[in-house]
Structure formats: structure tokens, C-alpha cells
Amino acid sequence: MIKITIFGVGLIGGSLALCFKGKPGVTVVGHSNNPASVEKYLKRDVVDHATTSMEEAVRDADYIFLCTPVGTIRQYLHLLSDMPLKPGCIITDAGSTKASIVEAGSQLKRKDVHFIGGHPMAGKEKSGVEAATSLLFENAFYVLTPDTDTPQDAYDRLAKLLEWTKARIVKLDPKLHDGVVGAISHLPHIIAVALVNQIEHYNESNELFGDLASGGFRDITRIASSDPVMWRDILLDNKSVLLNLLKDWNAEIAGFIEMIESGDGQGIEQAFQKANHFRSSLPERRKGVIHSFYDIYVDVPDHPGIIGQIATLLGNCRINLSNIQIIESREDIPGVLRLSFSEESHMDKALELLKKDYAVYV
Ligand SMILES: NC(=O)c1ccc[n+]([C@@H]2O[C@H](COP(=O)([O-])OP(=O)(O)OC[C@H]3O[C@@H](n4cnc5c(N)ncnc54)[C@H](O)[C@@H]3O)[C@@H](O)[C@H]2O)c1
Ligand SMILES: O=C(O)C(=O)C[C@]1(C(=O)O)C=C[C@@H](O)C=C1
């Protein structure tokens, strides 16, 4: 029997648990200090066993996943140093930063267990086990950061186990990871939160700001609803990288101030063209439930059952829809829907079909 123990059975820990649970010869154990959480994991059928006892959770474990907030992962590594672990046990984590965690992992006092840092590049703004899904990591990158001491056999065993997530494994240096992920994940979260707070401030004196906020604002600020504790830990941990990135960000914004002040229309156009070009060149690689390859947008009238009608219409024509999302609504009435398809041909068929009755755009 392969025993996989998970600390922090939330969005990421719970999704990993769901990827492993029920696989041949596997038993998944969840740990929480809180008895009510232990009950919840069992009730939701995310793990095979759950316990509040750390000793029981790690006893004979073949793999230990640390999926708590970044600050806590280092504390767990410290605690695990002094616990009886099965020789050959692989400890890994899911933290969004890697350098300081890998450093803490390298200081594990024991040589018969191996720490390999990990970071699945998939998530959502919702947290907790309630948001967990076995499809979260499908086609996403999953970074592993073995160090020079990591035996090849331990790395291979972990990479093999992670095949059940259907993610694509990439090996990275922890510092390089923090630099790149700081730019493409941590910085955008700061920008989204700062923007929402700026608008919230204006909204205090005039609620029109919130009322009129539509597609553009919602698209760029989805991630501002992410978990505060998780992000506190990430930003403080990736301090030096983020301070440099924020300086560059200030320079970008200063560029816009200058162009607007001086009426430099050509400069503004060029900035949008450059951004459009780079963004369009990004590979559309993520699939699964969260990300689809092909999206279309539909303006919908405000009458009851409209979402069901559209889904039925597509279903009757054997068009496979992977997701429907209300991206803009007026007082709870859908305004714009985003329909996601995993195949281009299905998106094209849906476009043809829907444009007869609705305003549809890509
Ligand atoms: N949310 C994402 O998009 C995402 C993506 C990739 C990696 N990560 C990383 O994965 C980890 C978990 O994130 P998540 O989104 O699953 O968060 P989550 O809030 O959904 O889950 C965190 C879990 O850790 C537990 N926990 C919180 N504080 C704890 C403490 N002090 N001691 C013990 N347990 C504690 C919570 O009860 C919960 O079960 C974080 O390190 C995060 O940086 C998150
Ligand atoms: O899709 C989201 O909501 C996410 O924020 C996921 C996201 C990201 O920034 O892409 C967030 C943090 C993680 O460490 C990895 C992925």
C-alpha cells in the first residue's frame, strides 16, 4: 500500500488528494489540527482517513505533501525533522514560493528522507476543500525544484506519482522560479488588489463606481478575491524579487503618465500594440475545468432560463461546452456569458449557431 499524507487539505491539498484517492494500492490521509476539519474531509470523501494526530498522519507515509500557507510550510519541515518517518519517504510541498522553502528542506536533519520542492501552476481565487477538484492541475505546469543532493530515484518516484494529476512536470531552480513566478503571478495579484482598493475608495463617496464596473474591471481583478493569509505569506517571502518588480511597475506607470500628459497618442498606440502582440503569442495551453482553449462571449437578454436555453441549444447540436460563466451581470441578471470549448471546431459551430439570435463575439 502507498500511503500519501496531506497537511493542509484546502484547495490545493484537497485537489491533490482527489487526484490520488481511489488509485490502485493508494491510501490518502489528511491531517488537520481541527477536529471539525477532519470530519469535513471525511464527509466530503476527499481522503480515505483523516486525523488530528501528526504522528499518526506521518507514520509509514511514503509521500508527505505540505499544502498549507507558505509561512507554515517551513514550520512543518522543522517539526518533521524530529519525527519518526519511513526511510525513503519523500516530502514535498505546494507553496507558491520556492527558495526559502527549499532552503528549509535542505536543513532537514535526516538523510533517509528526501525533500523536493513543488509548485503546481494552477489554482483559483477560491480557497478551502470546498473548492477542490481532481481536474485542477490537468495540463497545467507543475514545477519541481530538486537540489543537487536529491537522488534521481526519489525525483523519478515523485514525478511518476504526480502523473495522476495530469499536470506537466518542469524542473526549475528555486531562485529562478521565484523570479519568474514573482513576475507572472505575485505581481499581478498585487496590482489587482491595489486596483480594487483604489476603486473601492472612490466608491465610498459614489456607488456608481461599483455599479458600472463591468467586463474589463472584473477580468483584471478576479484574483483580487484570493485568500489574504496565503498572499500575505507569499508576498513577504518573495520580498526582494517583488520590490524590484514593483520598481519596474512604477516605471511602466510613469511611462503612461508621461504619454498622457504630453498627448503622445503614438506612444499609447504602440504600448497597446506591443502588449496585444505579446499576449496573443502566449501559448493557449491550459485545459481542464478552469481554463479552456477557446472562448466566445454572448450578450444575453435578461429573461429567466437563458443560460439553460443556450446550453440546451448547443447540446442539441452535439456541441461540447466545457464551461459557462457569467462575466457581467446587472443586478443578478446575466448580461454577458463566456462560453468555453476545448475544441476549436465546437467553438466555430457554436458561433455559427448562436449568431442567428444573439450578439456573439470572440
Ligand atoms: N490557491 C492557489 O491558486 C495556489 C496555487 C498553487 C499553489 N498554492 C499554494 O498552495 C498552498 C495552499 O494554498 P490553497 O489555495 O490550497 O489554500 P487553502 O486556504 O485552500 O488551504 C490551506 C490549508 O492549510 C490549512 N492551514 C492554514 N493555516 C494553517 C496553519 N497555520 N497550520 C496548519 N494548517 C493550516 C487550512 O486549514 C487549509 O486546509 C499555499 O502554500 C499556496 O501558496 C496556491
Ligand atoms: O488562477 C488563479 O486564480 C491563480 O491565481 C492561480 C495562481 C496564478 O497566479 O496563476 C496563483 C498562485 C499560485 O501559486 C499559482 C497559480
Average pLDDT of span 72-100: 96
Write down which residue in 172, 194, 227 finishes a domain. 172
Residue of the nearest CA to atom 37 in ligand 1?
8
Residues 275 and 300 in one domain: no
Domain assignment present for 27: yes
- Could you tell me if 271 and 186 lie in one domain? yes
Residue range 337-354: average pLDDT? 88
Please enumerate in sequence order all residues whose Cβ is within 8 A of that of 129, keeping only pairs 6 or more positions apart, or say none. Answer: 9, 10, 11, 13, 14, 37, 40, 41, 44, 46
Residue 48 lies in a domain: yes
Domains contained in the chain, number: 3
Residue 8 alpha carbon to ligand 1 centre in Å? 6
CA of 73 to the centre of ligand 2 (A): 18
CATH for 69: 3.40.50.720
Predicted confidence band of residue 288 (pLDDT cuts 50, 70, 90): very low
Predicted pLDDT of residue 290 = 40
For residue 146, being part of any structural domain is answered with: yes
Decide whether any atom of ligand 2 lies within 6 Å of the 124 Cβ: yes
Q: What pLDDT does 335 receive?
A: 75
> Residue 349: which CATH number?
3.30.70.260
- Same domain as 197, residue 153: no
**Measured from the CB, is residue 96 less than 6 Å from ligand 2?**
yes
Confidence of residue 284 (pLDDT cuts 50, 70, 90): low
Same domain, 256 and 315: no
Check pocket membership of 125 for ligand 2, CB cut-off 6 A.
yes
Whole-number Å distance between alpha carbons of 44 and 243: 41
Question: What CATH number is given to the structural domain containing 227?
Answer: 1.10.3660.10
Residue ranges making up the domain that contains 245: 177-281
- Out of 12, 96, 127, 325, mutate this one to test ligand 2's pocket (max ligand atoms within 8 Å of CB): namely 96
Which of 144-153, 171-180, 290-299 has the weakest average pLDDT?
290-299
CB of 360 closer than 6 A to ligand 2? Answer: no
3-class SS shares of the chain: helix, strand, coil, % to 5: 50, 20, 30
**In sequence order, what E strands does 165-256 have?**
168-171
For 199-247, write each residue's pLDDT tens digit. Answer: 999 999 999 999 999 889 999 999 999 999 999 999 999 999 999 999 9
pLDDT beyond 70 at 330:
no
Q: Specify the pLDDT at position 229.
A: 97
Q: Give yes or no: residues 267 and 141 share one domain.
A: no
15 plus 116 within the same structural domain: yes
Q: Of 42-51, 57-66, 283-292, which gets the smallest average pLDDT?
A: 283-292
State if residue 69 touches ligand 1 by the CB under 6 angstroms criterion: yes
SS3 labels along 57-73:
HHCCCCEEEECCCHHHH
Ligand 2 and 123: CB distance under 6 A: yes
**What is the identity of the amino acid at 101?**
I
What ipTM was estimated for this complex? 0.98
Both 124 and 197 in a single domain?
no
- Per-residue confidence band for 292, with pLDDT thresholds at 50, 70 and 90: very low
Q: Are residues 34 and 158 in the same domain?
A: yes
pLDDT reported for residue 286: 52
